[in-house]
Structure 1
Amino acid sequence: MGARAAGAFRRTAIERSDQRVAWERTDQAFFAAGACHVLAWACRDSYPDRPIEITAVRLAGEGQVVHTYAVWDGWAFDHSGWNPEPLLLSVNTDFEGHPLEGVKITNSLAEFCAEQHHRMPDQYWHDPLPRARDYVSRYTPPWA
């Protein structure tokens, strides 16, 4: 598939205001914009034997992150599947038209959501964790 910019899937006004409408988007759109953080944690939790980290990107100098993904040994996992992390950063930077900087996330999902004003899994239309685990399972990890 290749890496695609998360911003290409930004939610519309109705998708931002109506959780049911947001939920009904394709899996890729749902996990690109609105639930990327849920997917990143699901990826990490799916491979407890691997040192998978969580990383987010933000516009250089800003505090709010614009996309979250899982990282392992130079590979990044997000809505586009597994891609080299430099490629993921490049396509997102090109799309945004501004420099992006990576931020290693070391706190829990709950702490991340509180800091970044993101939804916790229980705040979605339905529980996104089974959907995220299924999505992760569709992609062959780079170590396989």
Structure 2
Amino acid sequence: MTAEAAGTFRRTQIERSDQRVAWERTDQAFFAAGACHVLAWVCREFYADRSIEMAAVRFAGERQVFHVYAVWDGWAFDHSGWHPEPQLLAVNTEFEGRPLERVKITVSLAEFCEEHHSRMPNQYWRDPLPRAREYVSRYIPPWA
């Protein structure tokens, strides 16, 4: 699987307003747009023996991030699986058609959600954590 831009899976207005409709999207769409931050933190938890960091992208000069992913030794994990981080950044930049900035995330999931108006796992229609764990397990990490 090649890296895909998160924007390819942007939620529709009904998906943004109805949690059940958002939940019923494919796993990739769900974790690309709307629950990418949950997937990233689950990836770090899943591979607790690795020094996995959190990162995000935003439009250059803006404060709000629009996609979160996990990073390990130059590799990024998101809805597309494991890819070299420059590739993930390039496909998102190309899709968006404007400059992006990488942001290192150094706060907890709760702090991130508060700062960026994102949902905590208990605020979804159903618990996304088991779904995210199963999704992470589908992909072979670069160190395997």
Answer yes or no: same fold by TM over 0.5.
yes
Identity, % of aligned pairs?
80
The TM-score normalised by the length of structure 2 is: 0.99
CA offset digits 1:37-88 (Å, max 9, x no partner)? 0000000000111000000000001000010000000000000000000000
**Letter matched to residue 107 of structure 1:** V
Q: Give runs of aligned pairs for residues 57-96 of structure 1, distance below 5 A.
A: 57-96=57-96
CA offset digits 1:79-123 (Å, max 9, x no partner)? 000000000000000001111111100000000000000000000
The TM-score normalised by the length of structure 1 is: 0.99
Distance in 2 separating the partners of 1:5 and 1:100: 12
**Letter matched to residue 63 of structure 2:** G
Distance in 2 separating the partners of 1:129 and 1:102: 25
- Equivalent pairs counted in the alignment come to 144
**Letter matched to residue 120 of structure 1:** M
Unaligned runs of 5+ in 1: none
**Letter matched to residue 142 of structure 1:** P
Unaligned runs of 5+ in 2: none
Q: Supply the RMSD in Å over aligned alpha carbons.
A: 0.3
SS in 1 for 2:44: helix
Distance in 2 separating the partners of 1:130 and 1:104: 26
